[in-house]
Amino acid sequence: RFGVVLSVKGGALSQMLLPFKLGLGGPVAGGKQCFSWIHVDDLLKAFSFAIERPDMQGVFNLTSPNPVTQAKFGQTLASLLHRPFLLPLFKWQIKLLFGEGSQVLTQGVSVVPTKLLQLGFKFDYAEVRLALKDIIKNKK
């Protein structure tokens, strides 16, 4: 199972960047919902880890070990882009924009990679600020 994969080459972050760059970022549906995410490089690293480990069996959560609230994620993104984080988006607006995909942003799920960590996997980007900073800087 995947968290929201952070990359500017597609997915949720690529859709969020323009509004945030224009200063239109803000909390989604109150911002208290949990946002489980993973840096694209950590996702690829986890795939390689799994290929090299025949003892890995079953379902694994591929998310950062540090989920954040949607508001914390948005505040961090806005801060890194040197933009305000003021304009709230309501649930109905998100549903209109993203359809069924809106549930990821409006309901939230707290998922942690317990089994992956128990096997000794080390994340390069366990903190959301570090992950977003790298992705924005290097356009990953």
Tell me the per-residue pLDDT of 53-74, one tens digit each, with 9 for 90 and over.
Answer: 988 889 999 999 999 999 999 9
Domain boundaries, the chain: 4-138
Just give the CATH number of 4-138.
3.40.50.720
Q: Can you give the pTM of this predicted structure?
A: 0.88
Query: Which pLDDT tens digit goes with each residue over 2-36?
Result: 889 999 888 788 888 999 999 999 998 889 999 99
CA distance 136 to 138: 6
- Say how many C-beta atoms besides its own lie within 10 A of residue 3's C-beta: 23
- Residues with Cβ within 8 Å of 13's Cβ and at least 6 positions away in sequence, in order, are 4, 6, 7, 132, 135
> Which residues are CB-neighbours of 51 under 8 A, at least 6 positions away?
none
